[in-house]
Amino acid sequence: MVTVAGVHVDGDHWIGGERSPSPRTFDDVSPIDEQVIAQIARGGAHEADAAVQAATKAFPAWARTHRDERARILHAIADQVEKRLDRLAIVETVDNGALLRSHLHGVMPRVAHNFRFFADWLLNLGRDDFETRGHRNHVSWDPAGVCALITPWNAPLMLATWKIAPALAAGNTVVLKPAEWSPLTASLLAGITVEAGLPDGVFNVVQGYGEEAGAALVAHPGVHRIGFTGSVPTARRIAQAAAGNLTPLSLELGGKSPLIVFADADTELALDLAVRQYDNAGQVCLAGVRLLVEESIAAEFTERLVDEVAKLRQGDPRDAATDVGPQIHREHLARIDGFVQRAKQAGATALIGGEPGGGLHYRPTLFTGVAADSEIVNEEVFGPVLTLQTFRGEDQAVELANSTRFGLAATLVTGSPERAKRVAGRLVAGTVWVNCFFVRDLRAPFGGARQSGIGREGGDWSFDFYCDVKNTVFAPGGWNG
């Protein structure tokens, strides 16, 4: 047990309703000052197996629990999150370096909303029966079993609960492997589930590295669903491991999303949306990091954008005046700088930024003069690095937008509703925002095309994945049950 920002946090695993240590630990380092804030249990195959066994044992009773009771408990979890919102926010800020004001006003309230939404959706889940030659068809959603969920570090608790909430609502049990760079709020969530009355073993947390604890989980024959958010290379390894057991996968992967600005766009809106792509120090998979600007307005737009980016304030994420916090880890900072320096060597021009900014900060960077086939245009940097290319007309805009192997999202800024419909219909993306950004409704499908993912989650799509969807056909005979 350690104290982080005045909050007591346990670094052990949570398995079968109990804290469980490991012989080995690893350091959890705060990106704010690179100081060790906790020793975290380093799990592996043994802990993964213990957690799967605990989840397997708990599954039958939880699966039989009436949906009203499951929904009640999920709402109770949301209640506990809201009671602890300030503590969850400060711990996650210290742990992953994201802005405290974002955690307080956006991220942590969304955690509670995730649980409430899927609790309520569960209560209304169902479709009308339909008839086939006098026979009645009845569709139902049966719990699948044990779900292994592996989640990222950029918005740890919110992104984890996008998966945890529907998995639990569906009647499954869960083993969560949080990212080793930001493990603390997952541990706090375990304590919250106890307060809310979730039975032992229904929710488990195994801490550790992906190649140890994560690899053991996804290859485990007792796992019935795998949900993963992260990088394409890791997803390939997970898919290979899951193939041996034919375990269904939901993969939410990276992006290299375009932000397309047409000459008829509201310039102030377009500039605001472009600057927002530096949120969370650029560590957002959905960010529109490839700015595509119509040639006729590109010079003025670029000049004004550089002026706006220069106003962003870097600093301590706990300070309300800070706009851009640190990168998550020294290793990640070096990765970002590697992309930037190689882009410079390839002939790209950094109009602003292009270097570290002290500590784990990286200066917000904007590149022009980038080749369409260059690394900086085609590979996910996952940092505060944007590129700007120009286009002439819709066809070239669409061609550039669809030119990478990714297809997670796209943002389109135009004053023409007709153009918006035409262009949006041609973009390869799981989500397209028109004159807006980052509007996320859990009723809508979320996921990526191409190498940005497999599957969709949200609303019925989540339950379709986390359940075995069954059709029962009743012969004619007057049954009305």
Catalytic residues: 252, 285
DSSP for 247-265 reads --EEEE-----EEEE-TTS
Distances (CA, A) of 163 to 16, 142, 158, 250: 19, 17, 9, 10
In the block, residue with structure tokens 């292994």: 148
User: Is beta strand 146-150 parallel, antiparallel or unpaired with respect to 173-177?
Assistant: parallel
Closest-CA residue to 367 (of 398, 396, 335, 345): 345
The token pair that represents 302 in the structure block: 């670029």
Distances (CA, A) of 8 to 5, 76, 91, 309, 432: 8, 21, 10, 38, 41
Calpha distance 379→404 (Å, rounded): 8
Calpha distance 262→19 (Å, rounded): 55
**What long-range pairs does 437-440 form, CB within 8 A, spacing at least 24?**
437/273, 437/276, 437/288, 437/411, 438/276, 438/286
Helix (DSSP H) and strand (DSSP E) numbers for the chain: 16, 24
Contact 160, 148 (CB under 8 A): no
**Which amino acid would we find at residue 234?**
T
**Which amino acid would we find at residue 40?**
I
How many CA within 13 A on the CB side of residue 284?
Answer: 21
Contact 395, 367 (CB under 8 A): no
Contact 225, 250 (CB under 8 A): yes
To which H or E segment does residue 433 belong?
strand 431-434
Calpha distance 236→465 (Å, rounded): 19
Calpha distance 204→178 (Å, rounded): 11
